[in-house]
A and B are shown apart, each in its own frame.
Chain A
Amino acid sequence: DQQVKQNSPSLSVQEGRISILNCDYTNSMFDYFLWYKKYPAEGPTFLISISSIKDKNEDGRFTVFLNKSAKHLSLHIVPSQPGDSAVYFCAASVAGTSYGKLTFGQGTILTVHP
């Protein structure tokens, strides 16, 4: 049972345009959501997070939106840069557990073309 789903395996975007990565979840107990970025042969690197009490969190070029009623979150990258090309993972955690115990989506490969 895949509790966190990233339905787009890949996304291709032109440099300077917006990248929108989507994530859906099924477990209503999830209350903290994160996006990680991963380059080949490296570990995931934390990018941005959002608590379930918020619907938006912004950090520079990165904004995460949370729609609890739809159990959907998205990551917006504006403007996209070639260095943003990587695999992006959506992750979630459950209230009452450690925030280090995460349920990950399958990942979306983002390619930003110059």
Chain B
Amino acid sequence: NAGVMQNPRHLVRRRGQEARLRCSPMKGHSHVYWYRQLPEEGLKFMVYLQKENIIDESGMPKERFSAEFPKEGPSILRIQQVVRGDSAAYFCASSPPLLTIHTEAFFGQGTRLTVV
């Protein structure tokens, strides 16, 4: 029973390039969440998606960042024209369709983005 899979684990991009981060949720999970952790800080919610729908993007920066979760394939977090301040660990979490009070989201191992 594979967990939440994120790839790549490490990504290096030059300023101005695009970064694409992928997340495959756990089997049976149709809800995906993206979080960002800056150095010395906690995780910050970015966006919540279901298949083909963005449910809550209140934590997404207004420009350069976008996310999708297509009908087939992984969820993608896309950062255009990266800047040094985008360097962070990006975590994906997934949960089953129906959340109860006893269910928690499961996190992947993260993608560490370094912008040089």
Contact = CB atoms under 8 A, between A and B. Distances in A.
B99 A100 contact: yes
A57 B109 CA distance: 27
Nearest to A97: B56
A81 B55 CA distance: 41
B52 interface: no
A59 B44 CA distance: 27
B54 interface: no
B11 to A, nearest CB: 14
Interface stretch (B60-68, B71-79, B100-108): B100-108
Contacts of B108: 43
Interface string A55-99: 000000000000000000000000000000000010100000111
Interface residues of B, number: 29
A51 B42 CA distance: 22
A9 to B, nearest CB: 9
B98 to A, nearest CB: 10
A101 B4 CA distance: 16
Contact of B42 (A32, A98, A99, A106): A106
B99 A44 contact: no
A32 B101 contact: yes
Contact of B48 (A46, A100, A105, A107): A100
B79 to A, nearest CB: 19
B69 interface: no
Contact of B33 (A6, A89, A100): A100
A46 B31 contact: no
Interface of B: 4, 6, 31, 33, 35, 40-45, 48, 55-56, 91, 93-95, 99, 101, 103-110, 112
Interface of A: 4, 6, 32, 34, 36, 41-46, 49, 51, 89, 91, 97-107
Given A6-B42, A98-B99, A100-B105, 11 more contacts: A34-B104, A98-B55, A99-B95, A99-B104, A100-B31, A100-B99, A101-B45, A101-B48, A102-B45, A105-B42, A106-B41
Top 4 nearest A-B pairs by Cβ distance?
Answer: A43-B107, A104-B42, A100-B105, A99-B99
